[in-house]
Amino acid sequence: MICSRLNSPFLFSRSFLAIGCLLCAIGCHPQAVLVPRPEGISPTAADFAVAQQQRLLAVPSLALRGHAELKWIDTTGRHFDDGDFDLILRPANELSLRVSKLGEKFLWVGGGGGQSWIVLPRENPSRAILRNWPSAPSVGGVRQGLSVVGMGGLGGLSELMEPARLIEALGLASTNASEISNVSWSETRGAWAFTLPNRRLYARGESLLPVGCDWIDATSQVIATCTLDGFEWIRGDRPVGSPASSVQALVATRLQFSVWAGGRHEQDGDADGELFLSAEVPTFGGDKIRTQLFNWEDVKSALRPEVIEGPEP
């Protein structure tokens, strides 16, 4: 009697079903939740440009502090590091993102005074990459696209982490409505997609709150993404002398940047470089904002990179 029950086809079928579900849970990627387009009139390019301008007035400066995680792949394998970060910016042309562990800085992205930089103090030799800013992102009025030909530093993050890109991804850059070639609804993002040369910006709700960005190549395939989440009201006193604003701004406290290097795209699987930032309450910055953070000579004196690539001022 016991043997006949064990040999039951019903029991075998249930066993195979359980094994199949287990294997799927281990190896299958979770299905994306699609958000249908909301009813009503869709926003226009002009609506988005106006919303961005209002947001700029509402956020004359921003300071975020919290925990950072980096994951990347290079020729030696997979890597992981984490630490604390400080992000301070004054749109549209001053930014400082410092990541450190136990007081030792291992990434500094910044810009100001017409110059931008990314410093990698842990590389051997330690290295700084300089670019002209804000003139570098545009040629003939069109922003240059992201290009990660090889693996790139930190799995391509060193190419993605350009201050102008970060500020725009955070929704703190003005947008020219004439540059927007298409407005559509993204079911995967659950947001309106505004297509510009080399990138798509995503915004949600009546206020068109920025929720992310895709950077695309010449074939319109995604090579890097930014996702914004965990929105909080910005707090503290507005900087002295900043223009008045009738809008109180929401700011993301969870930021994720992903990049696919060496000719790979989003649909090719896991990213080659990822940066996760999880912040505390956003503020206007107050006494955290120091002019030395946005000056290359001061940054160079503090970190003393052994190799400097790009045009020095």
- Per-residue pLDDT of 29-68, as tens digits, reads 556 688 888 888 899 999 999 999 999 999 999 999 999 9
Measured distance CA(174)–CA(118) in Å, rounded: 23
- Residue 162 is predicted with a pLDDT of 87
Cα distances (angstroms) measured from residue 283 to each of 5, 233, 235, 256:
67, 9, 5, 20
Tokens of 141: 């009025």
Tokens of 188: 């995967």
Do 89 and 172 form a contact (C-beta atoms < 8 A)? yes
Cα distances (angstroms) measured from residue 26 to each of 20, 21, 22, 272, 313:
10, 9, 6, 21, 52
Domain boundaries, the chain: 45-309
Tokens of 262: 């060496």
- Residue 179 is predicted with a pLDDT of 95
The residues near 52 (Cβ < 8 Å, ≥ 6 apart) are 171, 173, 174, 175, 208, 210
Task: Compute the C-alpha angle 48/53/54, nearest 5°.
Answer: 100
- Residue 9 is predicted with a pLDDT of 43
| Among 275, 177, 176, CA closest to 226 | 275
- Residue 92 is predicted with a pLDDT of 85
Name the CATH topology of 45-309. outer membrane lipoprotein receptor (LolB), chain A (2.50.20)
| Among 232, 187, 225, CA closest to 209 | 232
- Residue 145 is predicted with a pLDDT of 62
pLDDT lower than 70: segments of the chain: 1-32, 134-152, 313
Do 58 and 45 form a contact (C-beta atoms < 8 A)? no
| Among 30, 40, 51, 20, CA closest to 209 | 51
- Residue 8 is predicted with a pLDDT of 43
Residue type, 76: T
Do 282 and 234 form a contact (C-beta atoms < 8 A)? yes
DSSP β-ladder status, 127-132 and 307-309: parallel
| Among 54, 51, 65, CA closest to 284 | 65
